[in-house]
A and B are shown apart, each in its own frame.
Chain A
Amino acid sequence: MSIELVDVHKAFGANEVLRGFTLTIQEGETISVIGGSGSGKSVMLKHIVGLLRPDQGEVWVDGDNVGRLDQESLYRLRRNVGYVFQFAALFDSMTIAENVGMGLARLQGYGKEQIRERVAECLRLVDLEGFEGRYPSQLSGGQKKCAGLARAIATEPTYLLYDEPTTGLDPVTTSVIDELILRMADELGVTGLVITHDMKSAFRISDRVAMLYDGSVRFEGTPSEVQSCDDPVVKGFIEGRPELLESAW
């Protein structure tokens, strides 16, 4: 049970975003992928659930080559992968309960009552108890992210993909989200892949950190290995020192 991206290339027109990206995520671990804005982190994440297909290379999830799956097999795979979107991507026209229950409604064996119970349970997990009847427009940014997380975990997926879960949040809410990610891993045994710019967050929640630079993995290691890395690109990024990045060019 793992996710493997092998030599993935992806270009949009002349813009080559991924150039030989390779990364393996083992069962039960949480990996953070860091990298500058526009470096292709979200593009990489979308390959895992087949929202994008690689121009070259392969993406494997639980032994299935995602790029070669037909639509039905892809939907089966997606039921096993929760995706937390950067801006939550909640459905505006639905209540929070309906949003969280969307994935469950596609699963067999879930009647209305079971869905209601599971939705309440997921909202309790993300500290949004009692928010069932509210609409996304009535929630703060942090609450929306929590609701997005509740929707992603509702189907009890094996994998959770987080696209910048703490971007734009205040330090307290960031800490709450970090705590939730840790709980998902510890209590539910979920394998996590987190895209983030937040170094403090990355070091706190991750078993390993990988840096995406120039379309491929520049460095990969434990949080302490990343912090002691001498590569000026990695050091410059995690310490927020552009002069180190410039010296590497």
Chain B
Amino acid sequence: MLFFVGPVRSVGRGAIRSVEAVGRSGYLAADAARALRKVELWSPHILSEMSRIGVESVPIALFIATFTGIVLALQASYTFTGAVPEYFVGALVGKTMILELGPVLTGLALSGRVGANIAAEIGTMRVTEQVDALETLAYDPVAYLVVPRVLAGAIMFPMVVTLASLVGVLAGWGTSMALLDMSSAEFQRGLRLFFEPWDVQFALIKSVTFGITVTGVGCSFGYHTRGGAQGVGQATTRSVVIASMIILVLDAFWAAVLL
């Protein structure tokens, strides 16, 4: 029986740590909501954060979207050959990029680029007492560090996702014409066939929540970092893993609730 004590204890400790982390994040979210009224602390940083989180993420988001669009067109053509009219390639590329792959792949990529960056930066500030220094200088660190990042994420993620989805569709379009002997008109016909304006709104709603998730989780793990370099490393890794998991759960949630 004693053989089971170690693993059970370790699972129990892990569960307690997880509950504590959720509780800490909840408190931080409540503090961030309260800190919104301290406009003078977060507003000077919002533009630079929007640039860092959004504009600087555009190249990686477009790179992923381009190749996703190419692969989607080629695989759709391969799957549909002989069974479904070829112009359905346009329908599949458009629908899939806008509804699913644009927001989710961009969200996952940015959880690595943006979330990790935020967790490492704030985590380093925490372990080098820079967060304490902010407090002693009468700055609310939540208003100063967390609010501008989360707001920038909520504003910029939909923009990056829109751009990525557009480029993915264009890449699929170009691939269809160049490699699948489809005409532009055929692709457009497929693209229009099942397009609903609601699809775009759905993608935008999802990407706002992905933006808040990635930046919020990064801030939370960074803000609660303990220890030295090892603590910063753990916070960074965990923020990417947890944000990615939440993105996938949210993806399923929005699909179930809104579609």
Contacts and interface: CB of A to CB of B under 8 A. Distances in A.
Interface of A: 46, 49-51, 71, 75-76, 78-79, 81-83, 85-87, 89-92, 102-103, 106, 151
A85 B129 contact: yes
A91 B136 contact: no
B32 to A, nearest CB: 14
B56 interface: no
A91 B125 CA distance: 8
A91 B133 CA distance: 9
Interface string B125-161: 1001110110111111000000000000000000000
13 contacts: A50-B135, A75-B140, A82-B136, A83-B132, A85-B129, A87-B128, A89-B129, A89-B130, A90-B130, A90-B133, A91-B133, A106-B139, A151-B137
Contacts of A90: 130, 133
A49 B136 contact: yes
Contact of A85 (B124, B132, B139): B132
A50 B138 CA distance: 11
A102 B132 contact: no
Contacts of B137: 78, 102-103, 106, 151
| Residue from B125, B128, B138 whose CB has the most chain A CB atoms within 10 Å | B138
Interface of B: 124-125, 128-130, 132-133, 135-140
B135 A91 contact: no
A22 B8 CA distance: 43
Kindly list the 7 A-B residue pairs having the minimum CB-CB distance in the complex, ordered from nearest.
A89-B129, A89-B133, A83-B136, A75-B138, A103-B137, A78-B138, A106-B138
A75 B133 CA distance: 12
Contacts of A102: 137, 139
B138 A51 contact: no
A150 to B, nearest CB: 13
A92 B133 CA distance: 12
B130 to A, nearest CB: 5
Nearest to B131: A89
Contact of B136 (A51, A71, A76): A51
A81 B125 CA distance: 21
Nearest to A75: B138
A83 B137 CA distance: 8
B83 to A, nearest CB: 57
A81 B139 contact: no
A87 B129 CA distance: 8
Given A86-B129, A90-B130, A106-B137, 4 more contacts: A49-B135, A49-B136, A89-B130, A91-B133
